Chain A
Amino acid sequence: MKNRKPRAAVLPRGLEKAPTGIRGLDEITGGGLPRNRPTLVCGGPGCGKTLIGIEFLVHGAIDYDEPGVFLAFEETEEELARNIATLGFDLKRLAAQKKLMTDYIRVERHEIEETGEYDLEGLFIRIGAAIDAIHAKRVVLDTIEVLFGGLTNHGIVRAELRRLFCWLKDKGVTAIITGERGHDMLSRYGLEEYVADCVILLDNRVIDQISTRRLRVVKYRGSAHGSNEYPFLITSQGLSVLPVTSIGLDYEASTKRVSSGVPRLDTLLGGQGYYRGSSVLISGCAGTGKSTLAAVFAAAACERRERFLYLTFEESQNQILRNMRSVGVHLERFVKEGLLHFHAARPTCQGLESHLAVIHELVTSFKPSAMVMDPVTNLTTVGSVADVKSMLARLIDFLKMKQITLLSTSLTAGGDNEEQSEVGISSLMDTWILVRNLETNGERNRGLYILKSRGMPHSNQVREFVLSAKGIRLVDVYTGQGTVLTGSARLAQLARERAEETLQEQELEVQRAAAAAQITALQVQMRAAEQELKRLTMAAALHEHSVSQSRAEISRNRMADKDAAVLPGGAHVH
């Protein structure tokens, strides 16, 4: 028992790895494929097996200074060169630099008759010569299973393959062996029996007529690895695997704000607009102006000289440009300047995961500061609500890490459950604006309100949302007298109120006039009374006068005593 080694020494610690240079794959495998060992890549036809092999070699040759040999059993050198050229790599140049070598090994059954014992030493010699010629560190055998088709004695083929893989290990090369997917086994001829270190399975599944490519590391001896199925893309730059699920919830939250493009809406959102890097949902029925709000947001971003990505799942770029022109939002110049990039794709053209992958690619290459997905609900045509939610969650995480503001529009079915139907994705969103049709008195008007906006004080008021050739305008709705009115009802109500005011004014005027008339009448009356009084006074005076005169006369006539008392009023007291 003394000789027994401690357990830690038996386990391969810090297994050396050869990076593939394929985006995402190295993350999943924790650094690449096991160095100096063969890796089996299997999958059905058209899964991208050959492409993984080619990329592994090309990146090895260019990025890691590891020359490689590609042994093709299915394609000729010319076909391979063409395939590699589509990825933008010049095979001839790599070959001239002795960095990459291709060899087409033809195994055609109808030419070969087996007449006794044989081995595959010819194959060993060819591979060995190729490896030695350029001091290759990487080898791809694509697809070695052709041997089983070309040779009937499978016992010999199996024995030789086992010998070949051991020999490759001894040669110190990192190898990829591709194999067709089998029914019960990972590969049709059970190659996984011989290649036990690392097995990668590629899959091109078609669900509801939509295909999605997926990759899974089935086994990786002596190394931790991502065990999920990861969607991958074949793009013009080659293969791209998306370990999107690995993103955590630890992104930074920006306090910077970006304008929504509608000044009045910014006012509603605490006066400054959306948070940068937040996710905004604008939901509403058809024709409520969601796309216009999106376009205005795009225009505002481009106006600030920021790059903007516009993903449309329904309309073409030109259609959007034309439609937005009609409401006074001119986006063409931003497209010309390269600030605004449109990506139009029908949701059904690829699976949900592929969409995510494409968006990932676009965002990584275009580097926008904000983007729009219009309408995000169209994605439910290629996946269930749960699928869409999971995809969006990963997308939002990714965008938040990059501090990219996402504005999604969502088409709701209409009716009274507009708020409920969104529950699926609304919880992912930071700001949720609802645009709805307010149908009254035979007309539809647009109302806008903010259902939620995390981390900012926001208005609880409904605003009427008016689209005109000059763009979007938000106006206050009529909220007097216990009702909310919009559109012409609002205008009518305002007119009615104005009319009522005028009437009241007129009435007042009449009353004032009446009062004035009354005053005048009273004044006249008063003046008349005064005059009457004056006349009476005068009359009284005259009377007095005449009385005193006549008395004097009488006195004179009667030669009366001068002392005779003269009583006022002409009365005589005798």
Chain B
Amino acid sequence: MSTKEKPAPCGYGGSHARPPRLELRVYVLDRSPRSAVTVINLERLCEQYVSGRYRIQTIDLLRNPDRCREDQIVAVPTVERHWPLPRRRVIGTLADSERAVAGLELGAVN
């Protein structure tokens, strides 16, 4: 499991103690080209829409096969907006940016 965390700058009203943070999970198979593409696409979208206020957790299902069962993963890759609720999922390489943004409701976070 590799966790990439970007520093979350305070850009939200200033006086509030903690800004809302977007938590994303990517379920991939390590070293597969499709997985790499997905992660790159996700990072690009996050920078575009929720720059600095997100955290991406990448879960390699080959190394953590139990997570398939625990997190009900069928399709690979799967991207989940884990926080804030409700959770949203999209599958695929996020090649269709519009659908990915709509599916993960990245726009609504702003």
- Chain A residues near B (Cβ < 8 Å): 103, 105-107, 111-123, 125-126, 128-129, 147, 150-151
Known A107-B74, A113-B102, A117-B34; contact A122-B68, beta-carbon cutoff 8 A = yes
Closest to A123 in B: B74
By size class, the interface of chain B is 20 to 34
> Which parts of B74-101 form the interface with A (CB within 8 Å)?
74-78, 87-96, 99-100
Q: Among A105, A115, A126, point to the contact of B91 (Cβ < 8 A).
A: A115
Pair A113/B95 contact, Cβ less than 8 Å: no
B50 within 8 A of A: no
Pair B94/A118 contact, Cβ less than 8 Å: no
Closest to A129 in B: B65
The 9 A-B pairs of least Cβ separation, nearest first, read A113-B103, A116-B95, A116-B92, A116-B93, A122-B73, A115-B92, A121-B76, A113-B90, A115-B100
Known pairs A107-B74, A125-B65; list 4 more (Cβ under 8 Å). Answer: A113-B102, A117-B92, A126-B65, A129-B66
Whole-angstrom distance between the alpha carbons of A117 and B61 in the complex? 17
B27 within 8 A of A: yes
- Chain B residues near A (Cβ < 8 Å): 27, 29, 34, 38, 41, 61-62, 65-66, 68-69, 72-78, 87-96, 99-100, 102-103
Pair A106/B72 contact, Cβ less than 8 Å: yes
Pair A115/B94 contact, Cβ less than 8 Å: yes
Q: Among A117, A122, A128, A129, point to the contact of B74 (Cβ < 8 A).
A: A122
Pair B94/A121 contact, Cβ less than 8 Å: no
Pair B68/A116 contact, Cβ less than 8 Å: no
Whole-angstrom distance between the alpha carbons of A115 and B27 in the complex? 14
- Of B69, B74, B96, which is in contact with the most chain A CB atoms at under 10 Å from its CB? B74
Residues of B within 8 A of A112 (CB): 75, 89-91
Whole-angstrom distance between the alpha carbons of A170 and B12 in the complex? 55
A565 to chain B, nearest CB (A): 175
CB < 8 Å A-B pair total = 92
Residues of B within 8 A of A147 (CB): 74
Pair B66/A118 contact, Cβ less than 8 Å: no
- Of A106, A123, A147, which is in contact with the most chain B CB atoms at under 10 Å from its CB? A123
Contacts A/B (CB < 8 Å), 10 sampled: A113-B90, A114-B99, A115-B93, A115-B94, A118-B92, A118-B93, A122-B61, A122-B75, A126-B74, A128-B65
A416 to chain B, nearest CB (A): 73
Q: Among A105, A111, A122, point to the contact of B88 (Cβ < 8 A).
A: A111
Whole-angstrom distance between the alpha carbons of A119 and B77 in the complex? 7
Residues of A within 8 A of B27 (CB): 122
Residues of B within 8 A of A129 (CB): 65-66, 68-69
Closest to A107 in B: B74
Pair B68/A117 contact, Cβ less than 8 Å: no
B93 to chain A, nearest CB (A): 4
Known A125-B65, A125-B68; contact A113-B89, beta-carbon cutoff 8 A = yes
Residues of A within 8 A of B38 (CB): 116
Closest to B103 in A: A113
Whole-angstrom distance between the alpha carbons of A4 and B77 in the complex? 46
Q: Among A103, A106, A118, A128, point to the contact of B75 (Cβ < 8 A).
A: A118
Known A113-B89, A114-B99; contact A151-B65, beta-carbon cutoff 8 A = no
Closest to A132 in B: B65
Pair A115/B96 contact, Cβ less than 8 Å: yes
Closest to B101 in A: A115
Pair B75/A151 contact, Cβ less than 8 Å: yes
Residues of B within 8 A of A119 (CB): 34, 75-76
Residues of A within 8 A of B34 (CB): 117-119
Pair B74/A115 contact, Cβ less than 8 Å: no
Q: Among A115, A118, A125, point to the contact of B61 (Cβ < 8 A).
A: A125
Residues of B within 8 A of A107 (CB): 74
Whole-angstrom distance between the alpha carbons of A311 and B96 in the complex? 68
Closest to B98 in A: A115
Whole-angstrom distance between the alpha carbons of A236 and B90 in the complex? 43
Pair B76/A120 contact, Cβ less than 8 Å: yes
Pair A117/B93 contact, Cβ less than 8 Å: yes
Residues of B within 8 A of A114 (CB): 90-92, 99
Residues of A within 8 A of B77 (CB): 118
Whole-angstrom distance between the alpha carbons of A128 and B69 in the complex? 11
- Of A107, A112, A113, A119, which is in contact with the most chain B CB atoms at under 10 Å from its CB? A113
Pair B76/A122 contact, Cβ less than 8 Å: yes
Whole-angstrom distance between the alpha carbons of A111 and B82 in the complex? 13
Closest to B92 in A: A116
B34 to chain A, nearest CB (A): 6
Whole-angstrom distance between the alpha carbons of A361 and B2 in the complex? 60
Whole-angstrom distance between the alpha carbons of A427 and B62 in the complex? 70
B96 to chain A, nearest CB (A): 5
Pair B76/A115 contact, Cβ less than 8 Å: no
B58 to chain A, nearest CB (A): 15
Residues of A within 8 A of B95 (CB): 115-117
Pair B91/A118 contact, Cβ less than 8 Å: yes
A186 to chain B, nearest CB (A): 24
Pair A121/B29 contact, Cβ less than 8 Å: yes
Residues of B within 8 A of A150 (CB): 74
- Of A106, A112, A129, which is in contact with the most chain B CB atoms at under 10 Å from its CB? A112
Whole-angstrom distance between the alpha carbons of A126 and B95 in the complex? 26
A109 to chain B, nearest CB (A): 11
